[in-house]
Amino acid sequence: METANTNYNRRSFLKVSALAGGGMLIGFNLFSSAKAANLVPTATPPGEAAGLTSFIKISPEGKITILAPNPEFGQNVKTAMPMIVAEELDVDWQQVIVEQAPFNTKLYGRQFTGGSQGIRQGWKSLRTAGASARQMLIEAAAQAWQVPAAEITTEAGVLHHKASGKSAGYGAMASAAAALPVPKDVKLKAVNTFKILSTSHKNVEGTNIVTGKPLFGLDYRQPGMLIAMMVHPPAFGQKLKSFDATPIRKMPGIQDVFSIQVYPDEYERQIFDDRTFNELVVIVGRSTWEVMQAKKKLRVNWESMADRVEKENAFGQKREVTIPGGLESTDAHYAKMKERDAQPAKQLRRDGDPEGAFKSAAKVIERTYTAPFLAHNNMEPLNCFAHVTPEKAFLAAGTQAPDFIERTIAARLGMPIDKIDIQLTRMGGGFGRKAYCHYMVEAALISQKMKAPVKLIYTREDDMTYGIYRPMYSLTFRAAFDAANNLTGFHVRGGGIPESPLGRSEGNFPAGAIDNYLADEWALPSNITIGAFRAPRSNFIAGAQQAFLDEVAEAMGKDPIDFRLELLERAKKNPVGKNNTYEVDRYAGVLKLVRDKSGWGQGNQPGVHRGVAVYFCHNSYAAHVVDLSMKDGQPVVERVTSAVDCGVVINPIAASNMIEGAVVDGIGNALFGNLTVKDGKPDQSNFDKYRMIRHNEAPKKIDVHFVQNEIDPTGLGEPPFPPVIAALANALYKATGKRLYTQPFGPQLGKSIQG
């Protein structure tokens, strides 16, 4: 049994107070001991932990309310986090009411959703809070009954003293417990005694979602609310020159037309302050329809932008970023990436003598993989309600990073930060896009100008053509072999527009398993804005790397799984280099599990072709086997077998749903995802041209399996996404005899798949 210490530092607290009318309120700041160096989200500043908070409320009647702190956009933390608290509190899950915690950095610390870190970072603190509340209730009962606390047990929210036959619900002792000091140390449950955790529970918002309850930002209403829409330049590299609103000012319902500057000149961008177009034309009216009709008739003149320099401040690390002017095009991007890839690059890792290995090689395989920009395309387009008065600014929106944008809004409006009030709404998708909250700044500026409550709504076209895309990427792999066909050298070079996909992955597999290993990177500047996309960087590098490893295995005449396991065994017994970021046994474990569950090597069904891939990212390990057939030139995914090691599985049904969603999302992006640009203008502005996976193209069956262990839980929203792309590519090779090096794969399989 684990013991948790409840001593908290100045950036955290665990406090207890009585509720009005009796009862108990426990507040706790999460992640006080989380190490910043271990955090995946780049938003976490050095030396500080990612902060979240929750509260437990116990009423005299025994009503137990647990407030979920994190913004929710479908990853199910609003159910999972309270489950952790409820487990240690020792209550019946059916007794628990879950509420969204309000956004308040003073009470709750940092409320951030991203990087698949919520459960991992909150695990210990959430458990400690639940266990502390339980212990205080026990102490209160011991005092009331005049019995030793050690003799009191709990079950399903009831305190029992077996010797005297006394019992009481938590509510009866809540007020007395609230007057007691927080225990210094509390015992946490052994994993094998869990009753709530590791059992499946439905999403607490499920019924509200399917019955259409107003949960999302687009649902938000207030009396007297106006509707605003913005018009941005049609091309990256352009800016506003002038506009003529005369034709629309007298149209029905139109209240005003004006321009806004999102950030002032010389503004120093903070983390997540990215925006593509700084000056926008705004149309404000009484209804969405009226504003949309006016938008069609607005006359705007645009002009080209020159090169510019923007200041950036990422947690005190200041730099200046040069953003080129001009109108960019996808064809030119690919040509520039190919040219740049042949030039010297920044070295990230060197083991042994890679140059010597390639120079003396009997055979070298070299392959280059590329991928385009991708749009996030959340189901719910960007939107924000704002009501700014001289006294305060109230905003309601779906945002992944409310505390970061709160500071930006305060600075932009010239208000004290304690005058900014943000209400968290449920998000209809995030995937990283809703960490970049320029739309909230825009809504605040519009409301301030109108002196009225305003809801800013992006159309799908606005959303898709604004930017903040997944970057364009390129990876070149080389493998060297000796005369006996042994793998002797490995080189990966990564680059992209405007960032490299390698990032902090230089210590990932197969690094540590090959004597002579080299990794280097480069990047090209662009005026097309990019940002985090589900499993940043890994969403490309995993697919390319695992496809290349399959090709290497084939060149060596080895089974793809056996080859990977051989490399992992080498990394375990005689690791090469330092700072290898993966645990060999866990990496090999998911590969063995997916091999066994898929029946790999036991003979394929006639006409069914298989591909495998495995990857480690966001602290978890995921492997997939894709089984597909070809019908009329199109791939039909018959089955995907998935194996994941994410430590203790909090809520199995929700975890399986997360993996199934990642599989469908990964296959869809690999086959169809493509955002291209010509003369600065996106070619795709809606779903008639930006192809998404359809229901009948999803896998017919997805089998999900978890490695069973008692390791503290790790990430799950992002890790299953990257490797399924490679598993699909490797299966397509088996089916067609053609290796695919450029995403999306669909156009290379025939026109019919693009219809």
Is 375 among the domain residues? no
Is 412 among the domain residues? yes
Alpha-carbon distances of 598 from 214, 623, 638, 722, rounded to whole Å: 42, 11, 12, 19
Is 622 among the domain residues? yes
Query: Where among 169, 186, 208 does a domain terminate?
Result: 208
Q: What pairing do the DSSP bridges indicate for beta strands 516-521 and 346-351?
A: antiparallel
Domain match, 160 and 243 both: no
- Tell me the residue length of the chain: 755
Domain match, 66 and 185 both: yes
Chain mean position to CA 401: 11
Question: Confidence class of residue 121 from pLDDT cuts 50, 70 and 90?
Answer: confident
Q: What is the mean pLDDT of residues 323-336?
A: 97
Say which residues have a Cβ less than 8 Å from residue 259's Cβ, sequence separation at least 6: 240, 243, 279, 280, 281, 282
Q: What is the mean pLDDT of residues 318-332?
A: 95
Domain match, 703 and 601 both: yes
Beta bridge partners, 423, equal 396
Question: Confidence class of residue 44 from pLDDT cuts 50, 70 and 90?
Answer: very low
Query: Picking from 88-92, 175-179, 312-316, 488-492, which range would have the lowest pLDDT averaged per residue?
Result: 312-316
Cβ-defined contacts of 258-265 (< 8 Å, 24+)? 258/282, 258/449, 260/230, 260/442, 260/445, 260/446, 260/449, 262/438, 262/441, 262/442, 262/445, 263/412, 263/441, 264/412
| Residue 532, φ and ψ in degrees, nearest 5 | -60, 135
Query: Comparing 742 with 44, which gets the higher pLDDT?
Result: 742
Domain match, 154 and 226 both: no
Q: What is the mean pLDDT of residues 589-599?
A: 98
Q: Which amino acid is at 143?
A: Q
Question: Confidence class of residue 104 from pLDDT cuts 50, 70 and 90?
Answer: confident
With a cut of 90, say whether residue 103 has pLDDT above it: no
Angle among Cα 93, 98, 100 to the nearest 5 degrees reads 160
Asked if residues 408 and 425 have their Cβ atoms less than 8 Å apart, the reply is: no
Q: Domain residues for 620?
A: 535-754
As a whole number of angstroms, the distance between CA 705 and CA 590 comes to 9
Crossing angle of the two packed helices 721-736 and 652-672, in degrees rounded to 10:
50
Is 521 among the domain residues? no
The pLDDT of residue 129 is 87
CATH of the domain at 197: 3.30.365.10
CA dihedral over 652, 654, 660, 666, signed as positive or negative: negative
Question: Confidence class of residue 122 from pLDDT cuts 50, 70 and 90?
Answer: confident
Is 650 among the domain residues? yes
Domain match, 38 and 88 both: yes
Q: Name the nearest CA neighbour of 640 among 717, 724, 713.
A: 724
Helix, strand, or coil (residue 349): strand
Domain match, 158 and 244 both: no
Domain match, 183 and 96 both: yes
As a whole number of angstroms, the distance between CA 576 and CA 515 comes to 6
Is 633 among the domain residues? yes
DSSP H helical segments within 583-716, as ranges? Answer: 584-598, 652-672
Asked if residues 508 and 549 have their Cβ atoms less than 8 Å apart, the reply is: no
With a cut of 90, say whether residue 112 has pLDDT above it: no
Asked if residues 222 and 454 have their Cβ atoms less than 8 Å apart, the reply is: no
Say which residues have a Cβ less than 8 Å from residue 193's Cβ, sequence separation at least 6: none
| Residue 683, φ and ψ in degrees, nearest 5 | -75, -25
- Reported as type and span, the H/E element at residue 311 is strand 308-314
As a whole number of angstroms, the distance between CA 209 and CA 215 comes to 8
Report residue 637 as tokens.
């995914």
Domain match, 190 and 242 both: no
Say which residues have a Cβ less than 8 Å from residue 444's Cβ, sequence separation at least 6: 384, 386, 388, 393, 395, 409, 412, 413
Domain match, 80 and 35 both: yes
Question: Confidence class of residue 64 from pLDDT cuts 50, 70 and 90?
Answer: very high
Q: What's the per-residue H, E or C state across 415-449?
A: CCHHHEEEEECECCCCCCHHHCCHHHHHHHHHHHH
Report the 10 Å Cβ neighbour count for 139. 18
Crossing angle of the two packed helices 560-573 and 584-598, in degrees rounded to 10:
160
Asked if residues 269 and 310 have their Cβ atoms less than 8 Å apart, the reply is: yes
As a whole number of angstroms, the distance between CA 736 and CA 730 comes to 10
- Give the count of domains, the chain: 3
Asked if residues 75 and 113 have their Cβ atoms less than 8 Å apart, the reply is: yes
The pLDDT of residue 293 is 97
Asked if residues 6 and 181 have their Cβ atoms less than 8 Å apart, the reply is: no
Is 731 among the domain residues? yes
Query: Where among 423, 457, 491 does a domain terminate?
Result: 457
Is 355 among the domain residues? no
Q: What is the mean pLDDT of residues 574-598?
A: 97
With a cut of 50, say whether residue 727 has pLDDT above it: yes
Query: Comparing 576 with 103, which gets the higher pLDDT?
Result: 576
* DSSP strands (E only) in 124-199: 152-155, 158-161, 166-169, 185-187
With a cut of 80, say whether residue 631 has pLDDT above it: yes
Domain match, 269 and 139 both: no
**pLDDT, mean over the chain:** 91
Domain match, 629 and 576 both: yes
Domain match, 625 and 735 both: yes
Chain mean position to CA 165: 50
Query: Where among 425, 442, 457 does a domain terminate?
Result: 457
